[in-house]
Amino acid sequence: DVKVTQSSRYLVKRTGEKVFLECVQDMDHENMFWYRQDPGLGLRLIYFSYDVKMKEKGDIPEGYSVSREKKERFSLILESASTNQTSMYLCASSPLLATQYFGPGTRLTVL
Amino acid sequence: KQEVTQIPAALSVPEGENLVLNCSFTDSAIYNLQWFRQDPGKGLTSLLLIQSSQREQTSGRLNASLDKSSGRSTLYIAASQPGDSATYLCAVKSEGGGADGLTFGKGTHLIIQP
């Protein structure tokens, strides 16, 4: 079975902190994605990557950056966390043009 | 820009009923459409993937159809059970090159009453 893991299920940070969210997949998938999910807004794509060291902005990249140094790992970085970044963050991976497999999510609260 | 709409936003039905969830999308230039299930506080589980050249996919009690030209998909759940209670999300992968992500609807929150 495909497994996508995220480093934390719950995270509490303070405004202005630098935050790292880690995602690891074990199926050698080319593509990896970061989404955030908010009530009433649904899932929105933040960034995606189609290869090591490659990244593309999604619909809402402002305030975020990403890093993909190894194929299996895709990190989401909040350079200076703000309260409006309190959300559920979901990582996914997929082969090209195939189904996406999601991790369990990280619920981030920024105080 | 692709937009995905799901109707209804919430649905509550007695156990045993057959039901239909609806999804519509504004741009018919898609590679595929997926239906996901999400349990409270959890990630998403893929239920069915329909490629743009296909009309339907079936898995157990679930059947998903796709009418690409009209921009519609339905998820049919037969003989519903309390364990089917969850939020169901529809998502499309649009054409346009690159490994861009999915565009999601806001979901249908389904409750099956025992």
Residue B42's pLDDT band (boundaries 50, 70, 90)? confident
Length of chain A measured in residues: 111
**Is there a contact between A76 and A23 (Cβ–Cβ < 8 Å)?**
yes
What is the mean pLDDT of the segment spanning A28-55?
92
Determine the Cα–Cα distance for residues B18 and B71; give it in Å rounded to an integer.
23
Hey, of B37, B90, B93, B100, which one would you mutate to test binding to chain A, going by the most A CBs within 10 A of its CB? B100
Residue B41 in this model has a pLDDT that exceeds 70: yes
Given B36, B93, B103, which is nearest A97 (Cβ)?
B93
Determine the Cα–Cα distance for residues B38 and A34; give it in Å rounded to an integer.
17
Task: Give exposure, B19-53, as e/b (b: 16+ Cβ within 10 Å).
Answer: bebebbbeebebebbbbbbbeeebbbebbbbbeee
pLDDT for the residue A40: 87
Q: Show residues of chain B in contact with A99, CB under 8 Å.
A: 34, 46, 49
Summarised one tens digit per residue, pLDDT across range A66-98 is 999 999 999 999 999 999 999 999 999 998 777
Q: What is the DSSP letter of B80?
A: -
Residue A25's pLDDT band (boundaries 50, 70, 90)? very high
Query: Does residue A1 sit at the B interface (CB-CB below 8 Å)?
Result: no
Q: Which of residues 56-85 of B touch A (CB under 8 A)?
A: none
Q: What is the DSSP letter of A83?
A: G
Hey, of A100, A101, A108, which one would you mutate to test binding to chain B, going by the most B CBs within 10 A of its CB? A100
Residue A15 in this model has a pLDDT that exceeds 90: yes
Residue B97 in this model has a pLDDT that exceeds 80: no
What is the mean pLDDT of the segment spanning A96-108?
88
Query: Does residue A45 sit at the B interface (CB-CB below 8 Å)?
Result: yes
